[in-house]
């Protein structure tokens, strides 16, 4: 594949892996390219990048405050291609490394729900949504960088409405997928805002 031109917010995240050396940089590039492919609704392309990254460094975590696993994104990519068996395996691997990973719970729930294990799927979706909400509350309490994360509470309000409204099957999965995408984008947007703030403060010193 050709060189991927990453948007500015993604380039900010990628810059954080430079200190890890050449191999770490290569994995970071693949993960970011995979994430951009997912955000662009190109899951097959995302699988190519993310499976290579997971093979190169199965312990890789996104260099943001959320520290999401490469297997979380690989599982999401498989889910979006319709490969539920591989999605489930990747997401369970992510949860072995971090049982509190909210995105892994969310997409595992979506995978199980689509695979007709609806009771467990709904539980995992709710665990993931509650986990995202709690994580945003926790990081939002940081007096320095908290204001950059979900500042209008749009993601948390969407979660509250989804969980409080007891939506039907199609509404639940559509809302959960939308929130998962919003949270992933927020990781980049808020991290960029943090980096710009640090840069501006440094320029004033």
Reported as type and span, the H/E element at residue 114 is helix 102-114
Whether 2 shows a pLDDT value over 60: the answer reads: no
Look at residue 1 and tell me if it is in a domain: no
Look at residue 89 and tell me if it is in a domain: yes
Look at residue 185 and tell me if it is in a domain: yes
φ/ψ of residue 117, rounded to 5: -95, 70
Matching residue, tokens 């703030």 = 197
Q: What is the CATH number of the domain that holds 76?
A: 1.25.40.10
Between 8 and 156, residue with greater pLDDT: 156
Label residue 10 by pLDDT band (50, 70, 90): low
Whether 16 shows a pLDDT value over 70: the answer reads: no
Number of domains in the chain: 1
List, for residues 91-140, the tens digit of each pLDDT value. Answer: 999 999 999 999 999 999 999 999 989 999 999 999 999 999 999 999 99
**Per-residue pLDDT, 20:** 47
**Domain extent for 85:** 8-204
List, for residues 138-164, the tens digit of each pLDDT value. Answer: 999 988 889 999 999 999 999 999 999
Q: Which two tokens stand for residue 193?
A: 């805002």
Look at residue 3 and tell me if it is in a domain: no
**Per-residue pLDDT, 203:** 47
**Per-residue pLDDT, 200:** 66
Look at residue 159 and tell me if it is in a domain: yes
Look at residue 2 and tell me if it is in a domain: no
Range 174-201 average pLDDT: 88
Q: d(Cα 84, Cα 41) in Å, to the nearest integer?
A: 17
Q: d(Cα 141, Cα 27) in Å, to the nearest integer?
A: 32
Look at residue 181 and tell me if it is in a domain: yes
């Amino acid at each position: 594949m050709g060189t991927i031109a990453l948007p500015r917010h993604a380039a900010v995240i990628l810059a954080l892996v430079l200190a890890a050396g050449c191999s770490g940089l290569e994995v970071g590039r693949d993960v970011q390219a995979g994430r951009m492919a997912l955000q662009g609704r190109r899951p097959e392309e995302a699988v190519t990048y993310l499976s290579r990254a997971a093979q190169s460094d199965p312990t890789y975590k996104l260099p943001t405050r959320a520290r999401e696993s490469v297997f979380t994104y690989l599982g999401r990519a498989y889910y979006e291609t319709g490969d539920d068996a591989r999605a489930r395996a990747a997401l369970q691997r992510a949860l072995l490394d971090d049982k509190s990973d909210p995105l892994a719970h969310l997409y595992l729930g979506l995978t199980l729900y689509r695979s007709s294990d609806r009771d467990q799927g709904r539980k995992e979706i709710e665990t993931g949504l509650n986990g995202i909400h709690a994580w945003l509350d926790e990081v939002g309490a940081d007096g320095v960088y908290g204001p950059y994360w979900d500042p209008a509470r749009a993601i948390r309000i969407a979660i509250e409405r989804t969980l409080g409204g007891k939506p039907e099957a199609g509404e639940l999965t559509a809302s959960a997928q939308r929130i998962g995408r919003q949270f992933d984008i927020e990781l980049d947007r808020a991290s960029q805002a943090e980096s710009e703030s640090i840069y501006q403060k440094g320029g004033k010193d």
